[in-house]
Structure 1
Amino acid sequence: MADLESRAPGTRYDRDSVEFGRAVAFFDAVYAFAITLLVVNIEPPEASDWTDLGALFSSGLASELAGFAISFVVIAVFWRVNHRLIARFRTISPGVIAANFIATAFVVLVPFSTQGISDAETAEEPLAVAVYAVNISLAVFAQSAMYFVARHDRVLTHPLPRRADTVRFLDTLTTPVVFLASIPIAYAFGADWGRWTWVLLIVIGPLSGRWATRRVARIVAEERAGLVERA
C-alpha cells in the first residue's frame, strides 16, 4: 500500500530519487532527438553538384546548412536553459513535468519550422520567417512558464526575490521581441531582412544579460541587507 501511495498522482520526486533522474533523462533525450532531426532538412545534393564548391552551394545546400546552424544553436541554448533550471530543483512536481512537456513540444517543432527557412523554394517567403519566429517565441514563453510553475510549486533550492525573477523574465523577453519583430520586417522588406534581424540578438542578448545580472545582484544584496536590519 505504501508503494502505491508513493506512486499516486501529485507525488513529488526528490532530487536523489530514480524517478527524478528518469524525468531529467527523458527531457534530455527529447532535446537530443530534436537537434538530431535538423539534419533531415538537408537534402543530399545530386552527383553533378559535387563538381565544385560553387555548384554544390548553388544547389541549395548553403541555405539548408544555414538553417541547420541557426536551429542547432537555438535548440542547444534551449537545452542549456532547461539544464540550468533543473539544476536548481530540489524536487520535481507534476506541474513542473507538465510545463516541461509543453516547453519541449515547441522545441520538437523547431525542425519543422526550420524547413521553411532553409528550403530554397520557401526560404524567401515571409510566412516561413513568421512561422519560425512564432515557434521560437512560444518555446521561450513556455520555458519561462515552467520556471514560474517551479517557483509556485516550491521546488527551487534557492529561489530569488520576486523582483529578481521579474528582471530575469524581462531579460528573457529580448529573444521573442527580436524574433517577433522580424515578422513585420519580413513582410515589409523581404524574408532575408527578417532573418538578418535575428543577428541583433548577438548584441542585444549579452547587453541584456549583463544588465540583468547586475540588477539581480543588487536586488539580492538589498534583500539581505533588509533581513540583517530586521534581525
Structure 2
Amino acid sequence: MTDGPCRVFLVDDHAVFRSGVRAELAGQSAIEVVGEAGSVGEAVAGIGRVRPDVVLLDVHMPDGGGVAVLRSVLGADPGGVADPARAPEPTFLALSVSDAAEDVIAVIRAGARGYVTKTITGDDLADAVRRVADGDAVFSPRLAGFVLDAFARAAPGPEERGEPVHDPEVDSLTPREKEVLRLLARGYTYREIAEELFISVKTVETHASNVLRKTQQSNRHALTRWAQSRHLD
C-alpha cells in the first residue's frame, strides 16, 4: 500500500448501505472513502476518475453487478503493456449479502482479490480493506474453500498431462523472474517476496516490472490470471 491513508471507493446500489459502510470506515485509521457509486456505469466512471486503492464492490446490481465492473476496469486493455506513467489499477474486495459459491468464484475469476459478506463487522471490514491493499487475499470464513475447490477441479494443463509446453513469453522469463511471478500470483506482497527470496524490495519491483513487460500484461490482476492459465502459480 502506498504512503498515506488507503483510498476506498464504495460500489453498492443501496444508498443506505453505502452510508452505513462510509460511517463505519470513517472512524478507522489509515482509511479514507474517496467516492461511491450505485450502478456499474457510475462505478466505472468514478473509479477511473479518482483512482482509489481499494474498491468495495457489491456483487448483485440491476445493471450487471460486480463482474461487469471488474471486466470494465481490469479488462479495458487486455494484453496491453503496462504504462509506468499510469496509476495502478485498484484492488477489488467484494462485499455482498450472498455467500453462494458461484458468486464467490465468478468475482474472483474476474479479478477480485477477496470476498466478504455483509455480516462482517466494521473493524473486520477495515482490516480486510487494509490487507487486500497490501496484497493479501481475504475471504469470510468458509468462502475461501469455494475458490480452492473450483481451481482444484480445473482441467489439468499440458504439463500435468506430460505434454511439452512451448510458450515464448514463459521462455523469455529468467528463473528469478519466474520465481517472482509465482509468488505474485499466489498473492505475496513485494515485501514478502523480498523476504522469501532474500532480495531487496527494489529488486522485486524491477523483476515484477520485467515480468509485466515480457508477458505483456497491464497490471497485477491480469498477470495473476495469465499465470494461472499457464499453471505457473
TM-score (norm 2): 0.28
Pair member with larger Rg = 1
Name the TM-score, length of structure 1 as normaliser.
0.29
Higher strand fraction (1 or 2): 2
